[in-house]
Amino acid sequence: MIEVGAAYREEFSISFQQVKQFAEVTGDRNPIHLQREYAAARGFQQTIVHGFLTGSIFSKILGTRFPGEGTIYLSQELSFKAPVYPDEALVAELEVLEATPSGKYTIQTVVRSTGGEIKLEGRARVLYRE
pLDDT over 90 at 1, yes or no: no
The model's pTM: 0.93
Mean pLDDT for the stretch of residues 52-79: 96
Mean pLDDT for the stretch of residues 37-51: 97
Please indicate, yes or no, if residue 2 is contained in any of the structural domains.
no
Please indicate, yes or no, if residue 84 is contained in any of the structural domains.
yes
pLDDT over 90 at 105, yes or no: yes
Please indicate, yes or no, if residue 44 is contained in any of the structural domains.
yes
pLDDT over 90 at 89, yes or no: yes
Mean pLDDT for the stretch of residues 104-126: 98
Query: Which amino acid, 28?
Result: D
What whole-number percentage of the chain has pLDDT above 90? 97
Mean pLDDT for the stretch of residues 49-68: 96
Please indicate, yes or no, if residue 73 is contained in any of the structural domains.
yes
Please indicate, yes or no, if residue 1 is contained in any of the structural domains.
no
> For position 92, what pLDDT does the model report?
98
- The β-bridge partners of 9 are 93
Please indicate, yes or no, if residue 20 is contained in any of the structural domains.
yes
In terms of phi and psi (left: phi > 0; alpha: psi -120 to 50; beta: otherwise), the region of 56 is: alpha
Mean pLDDT for the stretch of residues 90-119: 97
Query: How far apart, in whole angstroms, are the C-alpha atoms of residue 55 and residue 62?
Result: 12
Instruction: Quote the domain boundaries for residue 34.
Output: 7-127
Please indicate, yes or no, if residue 41 is contained in any of the structural domains.
yes
pLDDT over 90 at 49, yes or no: yes
Q: Considering its fold, how many domains does the chain have in total?
A: 1
Query: How far apart, in whole angstroms, are the C-alpha atoms of residue 120 and residue 43?
Result: 19
DSSP 27-71: ----HHHH-HHHHHHTT-SS----HHHHHTHHHHHHHHTTTTTT-
What CATH code is carried by the domain that includes residue 46? 3.10.129.10
What is the average pLDDT score of the chain?
97
